[in-house]
A and B are shown apart, each in its own frame.
Chain A
Amino acid sequence: MNMRPPPPKRVLGRVFIPTVTLAHGGGGKAMKDLIDDVFISAFADGAPEVLEDQARFDLAMLATHGDRLAFTTDSFVVDPLFFPGGDIGKLAVYGTVNDLAVGGAKPLYLSCAVVIEEGMKVEVLRRIALSMAQAAREAGVTIVTGDTKVVQRGACDKMFITTTGIGVIRPGLELGIDHVRPGDAILVNGLLGDHGAAILCARGDMALEASIESDCAALHELIELLLAAAPGTRCIRDATRGGIATVLNEIADASAVSIEIDEAATPLRDEVRGFCEILGLDPLYLANEGKIVIAVPAEESEAALAALCAHPHGQGSAIIGHAGLGEPGRVTMQTLFGGRRIVDMLVGEQLPRIC
C-alpha cells in the first residue's frame, strides 16, 4: 500500500521590520508573512494546515441555528484608530455583529478585509488585530476569511477595515422596520451620543478635555434577552451614524406612523450634554456604537425595559416615546421646557455653529 505522508505542519511566517511597506501588499512572501504574523496568529487558534481562498460552511450545521441566513457588511474608517473605550478593530467586529443581531440573527462568522496605508507600524496593526480577535471571542463569532491590501501613503487614512458577517435567524422571528404600529413603545438601551462625543474629543482639534468613552459594544446577548422577554418586539435598529434621530425617522417613514419622544426621558450623560452645549451640536444626531432603538407593543414595554436593564449593556435603558397616529413619517419631541419640536433627518454632517 502506498501511504501518503501527512502534510507537513505549516510554520507561520514572521515580520521582522517595524513598518508596513508596499511590499507587504505585493502578493509575495512579505505579504504572506504579514498575514501570518499579524492576522492568522491573532484570529486562528494555532496555525491552520491549509489556507484556502474561501471559508466553507456546512449547511446542515448552519440550519441547526435557524431557517434564514442574515448577511451584512460594513466599512470602518474611524480617525483616530484608538479612542477612549475602543479602537477601529473592536468597532469593526462589534459593528457587524450588531448589524446581524438587530435583525434577530445569531452572529456566527465574519470576514475581515483591511486596507493599510504604507508606513503603518506593524506593532499598531498587531494591536488592532488582537483587539479584533478578542472582540470576536466576546461576541461569539469566528473571523474566517480576510484580505490585506497596502496602498501608497496618502491613498488611505492609516487603515480601513471592512467586515462582512453571516448569522442565522431562528424560525418564527420576524423583526422589521415597517412593523411598528401606533401605540408601540420606543425604547433605547442607555445613554446616547457617547461614541460621537468621544471620537470628536479624541481628535483633539476641539481643545476640549472630557472623560467620555465610546459605548462600543456587542449587543447580541442583550437582544436575545430582550426578545425572550418581549417576543412581540416589532423592530430593532442600531443608532450608529446620524444618531437616534435618523433611526427614528427611518422607522416612522417605513412604518408610516408618527413618533413622539420625550426629551425628559431621553438618557444623556452630563458630559455629553455639556459637550453638545459648547459646540452647538444636537445629541440626538451623535453616533452611537452600542445603542439600539427598539419598538415593542405597549403591553410588552415594561418587560422589555426590565430585560434591558438587567444586562450590563442595558444600564440606563428607557422608554423614550411612542409611535402614534399623527402624520406618517413625522418625528417630534416634547421638549424639557414644555414646547414641542420636530426632529428631522440631518441634511449633511452636523457642523458646529459659529456663535
Chain B
Amino acid sequence: MLELRGLSKHFGGVKALDGLDLTVNEGDIFGLIGPNGSGKSTTINLICGVYGVTAGTVHFQGDLMNGKPPHQRLRAGIARTFQNIRLFPNLTVWQNLWVAQNSPRDVSAQGFMPRWFGATRRTREEIAGLLELADLGHKSDELASNLAFGEQRRLEFARAAAARPRLLLLDEPAAGMSRAEIDDLSLRIRRVRDSGVTILLVEHVMELVMGVTEQIVVLNFGHKIAFGTPGEVQRNKDVQAAYLGTSSSESQPLDGSV
C-alpha cells in the first residue's frame, strides 16, 4: 500500500534520510524506530508531504505522491498525528473533529453552498462516534487548549481518524504518557487497525512498539539498519549497538525495561 524507494532528504549537508526503501502492506501495524536524529520524523514528513523529497519516490496505493501538497495526500487517504501536539487551540473539541472530518469533502472542495452552515445528521453521528471512542464525549464543547495533556493526545488521534484515512501515520504518540495511558493507546491503535486502517508508528517508547507492531524497520543516521519482527529486531546486534553506543557487549534488552 505504501512504497518508499530510495527516499532521501538532505538539509544542506546533513543527510537526514539517505536512500530508504520500505514497503508497508495493507492492514499492517508497522513500526519505525531509531535513536534521536535517525530520520524517523523526516520519513513521516516526506510521506505526508510537509517536506519535499531530495531524491526517491513515495507511492501510495500505486499512485506517485511526489510533489502533491499535504491536503491532497490527505484526500488520497494519508492522515497523521504530530509529535508535538498541533490541535486548533481556539476551536472546541467538536469543531476540531468537524474541520478534519469534513474538509476532504466539503470545506474547500465542492459543495459550495448547500452544506456550508451547520453539520448534517450523518456528520453529527460520526463525530459523536469519534468522541465516544476517544472518551471525550463530555468535553465536546471545551476549547482544545483547555484539555489535559492526555486528552489532547486522544483528540489528535481522533482528529486523524476523523478524516477516515487508509493509512495513519503516528509520530511518537506515546511521548510523555504513563504506563496505563500507553496500554490504553495500544488498544486504540489495534482498534483503528481492525477497522481497516493501516498504521505506520514512529516511536521511542519501546513498550508500545514491541507490544503493538508486527514488523519494524530500524533507522540510524538516515539508513535502514534492520528489518524484521519485534523479536528479531531486539536480538539484532546492529540495533543494540545503535541504541547503546558502539560496544554491545554489556547490552541491555530492548524491551523497554530500562
Do A and B share a complex? no
Which positions in A face B, CB cutoff 8 Å?
Answer: none
